[in-house]
Amino acid sequence: MGVETSCDETAVAMVEDGKKIISNIVASQIKVHQKYGGVVPEIASRQHMECIIPVIDKALSESGKKLSDLSGIAVTYGPGLVGSLLVGLSVAKAIAYAQNIPLIGVNHLEAHIYANFLEHKGIKTPLICLIVSGGHTSLVYIKDFRKYKLLGQTKDDAAGEVFDKIAKVLDLDYPGGPIIEQLAKEGNSSLIKFPRPLLNDGSYDFSFSGLKTAVIYYIKELKEKNKIIPVKDILSSFQQAVVDVLVEKTLRAALEFKTKQIVLAGGVAANNSLRKKIKEKASLLNIRVFYPSISLCTDNAAMVASAGYYKLKENKKSSLDLDVVSRLTLV
């Protein structure tokens, strides 16, 4: 069983042999909160507390298994919100203790990488992984399974965070990724030349704060002059700038480290413009690109269970005094 409560989603999944998903429940997909009179609790940790048991029940019943069938329980212990992480970790510890099964603490970032192994056979090390989500933007060199080298990361905002913030400025829904992607499809991506920060600085670091400011200022100026705001063109040009930087740096890393494979992980890996562009460019270089299906890109517990399975195979169990770590890094 995998348990994930690091941010907004309460998620529990049952996975067999690290690869076969038997059930995969994410609280925002089932209407657990209807039980509470339709009130959506705003406090993340309280929401997790209210959802976690019904979500576990649902994951068990959909899988046709019982708690006593579990061979281990994997749980995200960081990075994330402390209060949210604690809910999942406490429940996982209780189950591990009661069922006398191993507890496996899993790093959320590593779990995102493992989302790829749930669906794709034929992923071979060495490879380059781009982890890109609302909280993270990192380039990682994976020399061998579970051997990570951080090549670079964002120096300010994560890519997904910038999507959310631009969406907010334009009064669009949260999260910003899906809605921006949809509107951007009908826009002209080369109409506005937004900056591509750190594109040619030779490092593998990212910086999206300057791009964010450029987009916001562009909108602000049009507003002040009472001009029509070409939302779709702005979003399309903005998305293109983000994608260009992500693709360029990832491919450069693959070339430098001579890897023939790239994996994408995290919520922003669901962005079709990113998927398409990186695949196109990589194929010219004879590099294969893997990414999880959309539902496994965003936060879920199947990826946690999968990562936990492989850790357990290496006998990497956690003790029951495992604590949450808000700012856990991959390496």
Partner 1 sequence: MNFTIITKSPEETKKLGKEIGKLVKPGDLLAFYGELGAGKTCFIQGISEGLEVKDYVTSPSFTIINEYQGKIPLYHFDVFRVSNIEEIIELGYEEYFYGEGLTVIEWAEKIESLLPKDHLKIEIKFKTSYERKISFIPQGNKFNLFWEDLIRIENFRNRYLH
Take residue 200 and report the two structure tokens written for it. 């040619």
Does the footprint of partner 1 cover residue 217 (CB under 8 A)?
Answer: yes
The residue (of 120 and 165) whose beta carbon lies closer to partner 1 is: 165
236: which residues sit within 8 A by CB, 6+ positions away?
183, 184, 185, 186, 187, 188, 189, 191
Separation between Cα atoms, residue 76 and residue 135, nearest integer Å: 15
DSSP state of 324: -
- Pattern of binders to partner 1 over 69-88, x per CB under 8 A? ----------xxxxx-----
316 backbone dihedrals φ, ψ, rounded to 5°:
-90, 75
Beta bridge partners of residue 23, listed in sequence order: 14
Q: Which is nearer to partner 1, 36 or 97 (CB)?
A: 36
Measured from the CB of residue 153, what is the shortest distance to partner 1 in angstroms?
8
Residue 119, φ and ψ in degrees, nearest 5: -115, -25
Crossing angle for the helix pair 231-256 and 209-224, nearest 10 degrees?
A: 170
Closest CB to partner 1 among 42 and 321?
42
CB of 154 to partner 1, least distance (A): 6
326 binds partner 1 (CB under 8 A): yes
> Which phi and psi angles does 120 have, rounded to 5°?
-115, 130
3-state secondary structure (DSSP) of residue 81: coil
The single residue among 35, 143, 220, 276 that binds partner 1, judged by CB under 8 A, is 220
Interface with partner 1, residue 168, by CB under 8 A: yes
In the complex, minimum distance from the CB of residue 215 to partner 1, in angstroms, rounded to a whole number: 8
User: Is residue 213 within the footprint of partner 1 (CB under 8 A)?
Assistant: yes
Length of the chain as a residue count = 331
The answer to whether 203 contacts partner 1 (rule: CB under 8 A) is: no
User: Counting contacts by CB under 8 A, is residue 216 touching partner 1?
Assistant: yes
Minimum Å gap between C-beta 7 and partner 1 is 7
Handedness of CA 60, 62, 63, 65 (dihedral sign): positive
Please give the structure tokens belonging to residue 319.
């003790």
Residue 212 found at the interface with partner 1 (CB under 8 A): yes
Query: Is residue 169 a contact residue for partner 1 (CB under 8 A)?
Result: yes
Q: Which residues bind partner 1 (CB under 8 A)?
A: 7, 42-45, 79-83, 134-135, 154-158, 161, 164-165, 168-169, 209-210, 212-217, 220, 326-327
